Structure 1
Amino acid sequence: MANDTFDLDVTAEHPIDDEAFAAIDRDRLVAEIAALPSDLRAGMTGILVDGRTYSDVSQELGIRQPELVRIVQRGKAIILRRTAQAG
């Protein structure tokens, strides 16, 4: 999985249970990312599926790294809510 370390001071808008998120298997994660709104998919795929760096993905998408961090946090929060609801 992706290296989640970065040197940006970004306050999490969406608290994430990292342990619960890590428990999601890869196939489920890929399916959940595919179901996300389009503005979240590319960043989430680059970081969480492809294992690329925040710097690399943000440059490719033409956005600043703090925005990418927010995208990943928001996507993770949505996925955790969906998987919790699914039981």
Structure 2
Amino acid sequence: MTTDAFDLDVSPEHPVDEAAFAAIERERLLAAIAALPADLRAGMTGILVDGRSYSDVSQDLGVRQSELVRAVQRGKAIILRSIAPQAS
């Protein structure tokens, strides 16, 4: 199971081009996560940087797994929008 896998059927509120997101260089991703609002940073760091499971991170943060999934989707969408103008 990959770190992006989760066992919930959560409809994306913030559709993300996963291929474009996966192409973001690690250092750029880390900087973009650091610039996110505090309520998104912990989940994004746990899932995308530390490679932890949604279940594990949601338990540590005290949020429902579905809330974490939506927060990660929202964070990914924000990051893609923030770097899109810089992409060539």
Identity of aligned residues (%): 73
Structure 2, unaligned stretches of length 5 or more? none
Question: Distance between the aligned counterparts of 1:15 and 1:47, measured in 2?
Answer: 18
Compute the TM-score of the two structures, normalised by the length of structure 2.
Answer: 0.94
* Aligned: 1:72 with 2:72: yes
Cα RMSD after superposing both structures: 0.9
Structure 1, unaligned stretches of length 5 or more? none
- Does the residue aligned with 2:52 lie in a helix, a strand or coil? coil
Q: Which residue of 1 aligns with 2:29?
A: 29
Question: Distance between the aligned counterparts of 1:18 and 1:10, measured in 2?
Answer: 16
Q: Give the aligned length.
A: 86
Residue identity matched to 1:7 = D
Compute the TM-score of the two structures, normalised by the length of structure 1.
Answer: 0.95
List 4+ stretches of structure 1 deviating above 4 A.
none
* Aligned: 1:46 with 2:46: yes
Q: CA deviation at 1:29?
A: 0.4
